[in-house]
A and B are shown apart, each in its own frame.
Chain A
Amino acid sequence: MSGCSDGSCSGPDRLPPGMLSKYDLDLPTADGTLVWLEVIRGPEPRFEASSLEILDKARSICEGRVFGAVFGDKELKPLYDIAFSYGVDTLYHVKDKRLVQFHPEAYCDAIAELSARIAPAAILMGATPRGRELAPRLAAALGAGLTADCTDLSADGRRILMTRPAFGGNLVATIACNGFPQMATVRPGAFPMPRADVGRKGTVIYRRYLGSAFKNIVSSEPVEAESVDISKAKILVSLGNGIRDRATVDLAESVASKLGGAVSCSRALVDRGWLPQSRQVGQSGRIVSPDLYLAFGISGSVQHKAGMSGSKRIVAVNKDPDAPIKESADVFIIGDAHSVLKELDERLDSN
């Protein structure tokens, strides 16, 4: 395979980059919503939760039909009914063994072609790593406006208003697209997981991918899903650079389990190798919104706050009475992280 310099990966027709005008979908008749349904691969493939959350939202706020697009082979058959039960009316299955792997260029070409057929008013996908890679490529191909990582969507007829946090969560901006299709990626967990309408019916349409925009993937390894998903925890015991003793991490684990929560951290502890990256809260980590965020020995950098500012309640324990996290906390406790954790651990035992 020759790679795809000079436009050879712009799609089945091998149009040069000037092809963009071909997909001019800024049509007054644009209607319905197209959702890319991301599949978590494995022996039993399933939909990524955010895709289902979006389907339900699309059905409740957007006018017109809901279209789904999936990529893969026969293994996706059991997922058809699931797609319908969460709101898909018409499911486009781009059936190709090679597309089980994520090839953003091929996915983009195929969805652009679908869009040209169905002219949707909106195209939505989850703001997962793959969604945030595919969406901008597609937006460029379609000449569409795109809002990244939305935390809310509302509709005014076919017009969608997109809400996203800016500046580390200090501001909330509402954004609209100037034409159709309107595109957005939606933050996982922004909408509640809907209930399936079992037995709801829809149509599957098979599509073939005739292009050749495949990447040369030498190897691919699944990363074992961590047993703890900090973005789902109701209470987080979060540790920062103020934790000087490794035993304090075990203590925090014990406290977290007694509280029915999980341990998360600032980047400082990931850098030290004390906790895995999956536990990091912040701009380059995970965005969390627990009922209670307990910050021990965390100073409150802008990057860290970007990940925790959506928490319902924030309590910080810090020995520095002027630590910047004070302003972001509901309760700011001046004290030593280790001693407070130790006390908590003992007290929760006797409770």
Chain B
Amino acid sequence: MKIVVAVKQVPDVSSVQTDDSGNIVREGIPSVLNPYCEYAVYMACRLKGDGPVTAVTMGPPQARGALLRCLELGADEAYLISDKAFAGSDAFATSKVLSAFVRTHIPGYDLILCGKQASDGDTAEVPAELACMLGVQQFCYVDEIVAGDDLRVLQNYRDEKRICVVPLRSVISVSKGECNRRLPSINDYLRAADVEIKTLDKAALGLDEQSAGVKGSKTRIISSRSSGVERSCVTIDGTNPSDAADVIIKEAGM
């Protein structure tokens, strides 16, 4: 199966620090492949059979790092869509760029996989927008993908679990954020290092200034502020449990 995995690079939240006013310090934070996307790549490689797995991301030049990780995890090829005109894209503009990529570069794909959401933005909008723009079905909250005579997914809506047959060319978004997969071997690293990550700009996708980035976005951020919940961080020695219990009972108003 020819599988496209749309991935995103995110700040490594495990090392995110906040400053005194509670704002995220972004400088110097390493970037990683979004954990949900990592799982999508893992699923794609399990399903692919003899077809290639193509990883694609839209982002700044540094986003190559995320693609390299995809290659190490088993993806066969990788595309970096990078263009100054695409900076500031919201979910709509991002989906538009990704759909243009699929149409122009992988028109004969069988399946598109995405992670449920990015661990930084958390909007979870791209998979369904992409599916709509390509005019195909979407399958969200997928916990399992089973390939047999047909392709089936287990979807988990929290109050309902259901199994659907997935037609080829659908978009699947997976909910898990990690997996117990094997670590890449030396060979994986070497193979990944040999694959050329292809870079595409707006012209290569047949897009112009208006179609993505800030101009192609349908939303804009008016303001952003620290959530402002100031916590007093009073520290208490609770070596003696009864001191700790005193405090908690008082907090609970009992």
Q: Across the interface, do A167 and B160 meet the contact criterion of CB distance under 8 Å?
A: no
- Report Cα–Cα, A317/B218, bound state, in Å: 45
Known contacts: A140-B92, A218-B165, A334-B236. The answer to whether A168 contacts B13 by CB under 8 A is yes
> Can you name the residue of chain A whose Cβ is closest to the Cβ of B224?
A173
Q: Tell me, yes or no, whether A292 is within 8 Å of chain B by CB.
A: yes
- Report Cα–Cα, A179/B216, bound state, in Å: 12
Q: Tell me, yes or no, whether A47 is within 8 Å of chain B by CB.
A: no
Question: A147: which of B128, B169, B219, B251 is its contact (CB, 8 Å)?
Answer: B219
Question: A170: which of B22, B99, B119 is its contact (CB, 8 Å)?
Answer: B22
Question: A136: which of B16, B125, B217, B252 is its contact (CB, 8 Å)?
Answer: B125
A residues 308-335 near B (Cβ < 8 Å) are 309-310, 313-315, 317, 321, 326-335
- Report Cα–Cα, A218/B247, bound state, in Å: 54
Q: Across the interface, do A327 and B233 meet the contact criterion of CB distance under 8 Å?
A: yes
What chain A residues lie within 8 Å of B237 (beta carbons)? 333-335
Nearest Cβ on chain A to B121's Cβ, whole angstroms: 7
Known contacts: A104-B138, A172-B225. The answer to whether A148 contacts B218 by CB under 8 A is no
- Report Cα–Cα, A154/B26, bound state, in Å: 30
Interface string of A204-227 (1 = CB under 8 A from B): 000000000101111111110100
Nearest Cβ on chain A to B111's Cβ, whole angstroms: 11
What chain A residues lie within 8 Å of B134 (beta carbons)? 17
Question: A3: which of B125, B129, B167, B254 is its contact (CB, 8 Å)?
Answer: B167
Question: A145: which of B18, B90, B136, B244 is its contact (CB, 8 Å)?
Answer: B90
> Can you name the residue of chain A whose Cβ is closest to the Cβ of B125?
A136
Nearest Cβ on chain B to A101's Cβ, whole angstroms: 8
Q: Across the interface, do A342 and B24 meet the contact criterion of CB distance under 8 Å?
A: no
Segment from A7-15, A67-75, A76-84, A116-124 that makes contact with B:
A7-15
Q: Across the interface, do B235 and A326 meet the contact criterion of CB distance under 8 Å?
A: yes
- Report Cα–Cα, A333/B244, bound state, in Å: 7
B residues 195-233 near A (Cβ < 8 Å) are 217-229, 231-233
What chain B residues lie within 8 Å of A148 (beta carbons)? 91, 122-125
Q: Across the interface, do B219 and A178 meet the contact criterion of CB distance under 8 Å?
A: yes
Q: Across the interface, do B137 and A9 meet the contact criterion of CB distance under 8 Å?
A: yes
> Can you name the residue of chain B whose Cβ is closest to the Cβ of A327?
B233
A residues 277-298 near B (Cβ < 8 Å) are 278, 283-284, 292, 294
Q: Tell me, yes or no, whether A29 is within 8 Å of chain B by CB.
A: no
Question: B129: which of A6, A10, A136, A220 is its contact (CB, 8 Å)?
Answer: A136
Q: Across the interface, do B159 and A302 meet the contact criterion of CB distance under 8 Å?
A: no
Q: Across the interface, do A343 and B168 meet the contact criterion of CB distance under 8 Å?
A: no
Nearest Cβ on chain A to B92's Cβ, whole angstroms: 7
- Report Cα–Cα, A165/B220, bound state, in Å: 15
Question: A331: which of B99, B119, B122, B234 is its contact (CB, 8 Å)?
Answer: B234
Nearest Cβ on chain B to A71's Cβ, whole angstroms: 15
Of the candidates A104, A132, A327, A331, the one having the most CB atoms from chain B within 10 angstroms of its own CB is A331
Q: Across the interface, do B163 and A330 meet the contact criterion of CB distance under 8 Å?
A: no
- Report Cα–Cα, A221/B18, bound state, in Å: 43
- Report Cα–Cα, A228/B189, bound state, in Å: 47
Q: Across the interface, do A223 and B245 meet the contact criterion of CB distance under 8 Å?
A: no
What chain A residues lie within 8 Å of B157 (beta carbons)? 102, 129-130
Q: Across the interface, do B167 and A218 meet the contact criterion of CB distance under 8 Å?
A: no
Q: Tell me, yes or no, whether B95 is within 8 Å of chain A by CB.
A: yes
Q: Across the interface, do B249 and A215 meet the contact criterion of CB distance under 8 Å?
A: no
Q: Tell me, yes or no, whether A259 is within 8 Å of chain B by CB.
A: yes
> Can you name the residue of chain B whose Cβ is closest to the Cβ of A313?
B251
Known contacts: A149-B123, A167-B120. The answer to whether A3 contacts B137 by CB under 8 A is yes
Q: Across the interface, do B163 and A223 meet the contact criterion of CB distance under 8 Å?
A: no
Q: Across the interface, do A132 and B136 meet the contact criterion of CB distance under 8 Å?
A: no
Nearest Cβ on chain B to A306's Cβ, whole angstroms: 8
Q: Across the interface, do B227 and A133 meet the contact criterion of CB distance under 8 Å?
A: no
Interface string of A170-182 (1 = CB under 8 A from B): 1111111111000
Provide 8 A-B residue pairs closer than 8 Å at the C-beta atoms, listed in order of the A residue.
A102-B157, A167-B24, A175-B221, A176-B220, A178-B218, A278-B158, A315-B247, A344-B249
Which A-B residue pairs are the 5 nearest by beta carbons?
A3-B167, A335-B238, A145-B218, A7-B135, A140-B132
Beyond A140-B128, A149-B122, A348-B249, 16 additional contacts (C-beta under 8 Å) are: A3-B169, A4-B135, A6-B136, A7-B136, A137-B138, A145-B92, A147-B123, A148-B125, A168-B16, A170-B227, A174-B224, A217-B162, A217-B164, A315-B248, A331-B236, A340-B238
